[in-house]
């Protein structure tokens, strides 16, 4: 892996991914909204920024050109298909053999085998209804984005984040194929470690065409599970 593009580079997750990518000596380019470029001032001599909306196919195509890895922050802001547009722009613009790693939440399901608590289902339903009603976000947009990714022939991984918190790194999160697995019960990951997993996935071919649901490696549920054979060792 030599050159990586981070789509949505100016957000919290994006900036952590910049740190991890630079620590690996990758050339880093990224796309973010023009009004957010200033958030990256501390990296300005080390990265190349393509200002613009992350669903702009022309800007994304220019940014991902020559990249062997693309890290994508999928966000369902607004009600005009921003996440689906972002995913499509990356799928169309990236080289066929590029590693594509997308971020989303546990609510996305690859195979319908995830098991959600009634509380999670109720939250998603109510939040989704309010967000769409107020037109600030559309959860279904992220579902559509992932449907397109899952059905593509690209070398993708969709990393499904638990609830997130700030704080120092605990190390690489552990993961499961399915929400509902006891290892995930703590439902908490440091945001810096979510970013670490995204960057780690770029070079882990065992994660191609998988949608790992992650949780912090220092959480109670991860520690309780330690010792048994886990897919996190893949
Ligand atoms: N927050 C959680 O608890 C949680 C839990 C599980 C999974 N995730 C996943 O983690 C990823 C990022 O989450 P995060 O909480 O860490 O957020 P984040 O890194 O701050 O990312 C937010 C992104 O959304 C962009 N954005 C904000 N408002 C926007 C708007 N109105 N139009 C277009 N783009 C806008 C930001 O760009 P600007 O810098 O330009 O504002 C930034 O790239 C997402 O894929 C999310 O699904 C989050």
Q: How far is the CA of 37 from the centre of ligand 1 (A)?
A: 15
Q: Where are the alpha helices (DSSP H) in the chain?
A: 12-23, 57-64, 82-93, 118-133, 139-150, 191-201, 220-225
Atom of ligand 1 nearest to the CA of 160: 7
pLDDT at residue 233, rounded to an integer: 44
CA 212 to chain centre: 11
Bridging pattern class, strands 189-190 and 164-165: parallel
pLDDT at residue 107, rounded to an integer: 95
Bridging pattern class, strands 213-215 and 174-176: antiparallel
- Note the pLDDT tens digit of each residue in 176-225: 999 999 999 999 999 999 999 999 999 999 999 999 999 999 999 999 99
* Ligand 1, pocket residues at CB < 6 Å: 8, 10-14, 32-33, 36, 39, 73-75, 77, 82, 103-105, 161, 163-164, 191
CA pair distance 192, 12, nearest whole angstrom: 9
Q: How far is the CA of 76 from the centre of ligand 1 (A)?
A: 8
DSSP 8-state secondary structure symbol assigned to residue 112: S
Atom of ligand 1 nearest to the CA of 33: 40
pLDDT at residue 230, rounded to an integer: 56
Atom of ligand 1 nearest to the CA of 16: 19
Q: How far is the CA of 224 from the centre of ligand 1 (A)?
A: 30
Q: How many CA atoms lie within 13 A of 227 on its CB side?
A: 4
User: CATH number for the 3-233 domain, one of 3.40.50.2000, 3.40.50.720, 3.40.190.10, 3.40.50.300?
Assistant: 3.40.50.720
pLDDT at residue 82, rounded to an integer: 95
Q: How far is the CA of 49 from the centre of ligand 1 (A)?
A: 18
For ligand 1, mutation pick of 5, 7, 8 (most atoms within 8 Å of CB):
8
- Lookup result for tokens 């520690």: 223
Residues of the chain with pLDDT under 50: 232-233
Nearest C-alpha neighbor of 105 from the set 136, 76, 69, 65: 76
- Domain spans of the chain? 3-233
Q: How far is the CA of 75 from the centre of ligand 1 (A)?
A: 5
């Amino acid at each position: 892996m030599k050159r990586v593009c981070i789509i949505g580079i100016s957000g919290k997750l994006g900036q952590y991914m910049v740190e991890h990518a630079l620590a690996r000596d990758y050339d880093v380019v990224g796309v973010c909204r023009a009004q957010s470029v200033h958030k990256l001032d501390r990296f300005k001599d080390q990265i190349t920024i393509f200002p613009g909306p992350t669903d702009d196919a022309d800007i994304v195509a220019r940014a991902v050109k020559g990249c062997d890895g693309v890290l994508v922050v999928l966000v369902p802001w607004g009600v005009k298909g921003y996440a689906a547009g972002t995913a499509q722009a990356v799928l169309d613009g990236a080289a066929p053999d590029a590693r594509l790693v997308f971020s989303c939440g546990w609510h996305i399901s690859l195979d319908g085998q995830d098991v959600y608590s009634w509380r999670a289902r109720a939250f998603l339903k109510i939040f989704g209804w309010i967000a769409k009603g107020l037109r600030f976000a559309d959860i279904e947009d992220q579902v559509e984005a992932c449907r397109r990714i899952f059905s593509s022939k690209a070398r993708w991984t969709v990393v499904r984040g638990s609830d997130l918190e700030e704080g120092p790194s605990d190390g690489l999160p552990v993961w499961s194929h399915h929400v509902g697995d006891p290892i995930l019960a703590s439902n908490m990951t440091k945001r810096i470690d979510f970013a670490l997993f995204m960057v780690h996935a770029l070079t882990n071919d065992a994660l191609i065409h998988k949608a790992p649901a992650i949780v912090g490696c220092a959480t109670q549920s991860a520690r309780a599970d330690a010792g048994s054979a886990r897919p996190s060792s893949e």
